[in-house]
Amino acid sequence: MTQQWKAVCKVADIPALGARVVRRAAKPDVAIFRSSEDKIFALLDRCPHKGGPLSQGIVFGERVACPLHNWNIQLDSGCALSPDEGCTQRFSVKVEEGTVFLDAEELSTLAIEVTTE
């Protein structure tokens, strides 16, 4: 089971109250966030409202404010705060000895762009 975890960066590589973008072969990008208490979260880098890049938003508590229209998205669930409605895909995260891991299986399967040949 441990093999599916993929190291993406160190906790220190993400600014506190900030985010980094994780590119993946199967688009779109994933955003990883770091709270002031060094908790790490991963969400699809797309706001459920109009697809804004959540990685670029202001992080506070365990939420991020989307940079496009200021929807507040909860980092643990990926869901918008009421009265806004909608959720974005969340991804599993593991932190071990300061290294952040994402699930490779999830990265290659969840919320991927469907292309028609």
Partner 1 sequence: MKKLKLVMVGNGMAGVRTLEELLKIAPDIYDVTVFGAEPYANYNRILLSPVLAGEQTIKDIMLNDVDWYAQNGITLHLRKKIAKIDRVRRLVIAEDGTTAEYDRLLLATGSTPFILPVPGKDLKGVIAYRDIQDTNAMIQAAGVHKHAVVIGGGLLGLEAANGLKLRGMDVTVVHLPAWLMERQLDPTAGKLLQKSLEDRGLKFLLDKNTKEIVGDDSGNVKAIRFTDGLEIPAELVVMAVGIRPNTVLAESAGLFCNRGIVVNDTMQTYDPRIYAVGECVNHRGTAYGLVAPLFEMAKVCANHLANFGIGRYQGSVTSTKLKVTGIDLFSAGEFMGGEGTEEIVLSDPIGGVYKKLVIKENKLVGACLYGDTVDGSWYFKLLREGRDITEMRDTLMFGESNTGRPGDTGHEGFTKAAAMPDDAEVCGCNGVCKGAIVTAIKEKGLFTLEDVRKHTKASASCGSCTGLVEQIIMATAGGDYSTSSKAKPVCACTDNTHQQVRDAIKANKLLTIADTMAFMEWRTPDGCATCRPALNYYLISTWPHEARDDPQSRFINERAHANIQKDGTYSVVPRMWGGETSSSELRRIADVVDKFRIPTVKVTGGQRIDLLGVKKEDLPAVWQELGMPSGHAYAKALRTVKTCVGSEWCRFGTQDSTEMGKQLERMLWRMYAPHKVKLAVSGCPRNCAESGIKDVGVIGVDSGWEIYVGGNGGIKTEVAHFFVKLKTHEEVLEYAGAFLQLYREEGWYLERTVHYIARVGLDHVKKNVLEDAENRKALYQRLLFSLDGEPDPWHEHEKARVDTRQFAPLA
Residues engaged in binding partner 1 (CB under 8 A): 8-9, 13, 15-18, 20-23, 29, 32, 36, 50-53, 56-61, 63, 65, 67-68, 70, 72, 83
Nearer to partner 1, 8 or 90 (CB): 8
Closest separation between CB of residue 44 and partner 1, Å? 13
Nearer to partner 1, 22 or 90 (CB): 22
Q: In Å, how far are 27, 31, 70, 96, 107 from 102, measured between CA atoms?
A: 15, 11, 27, 11, 7
Closest separation between CB of residue 1 and partner 1, Å? 23
Q: Could you report how far apart the first and last alpha carbons of the chain are, in Å?
A: 33
Nearer to partner 1, 4 or 56 (CB): 56
Nearer to partner 1, 18 or 95 (CB): 18
Tokens of 89: 């895909």
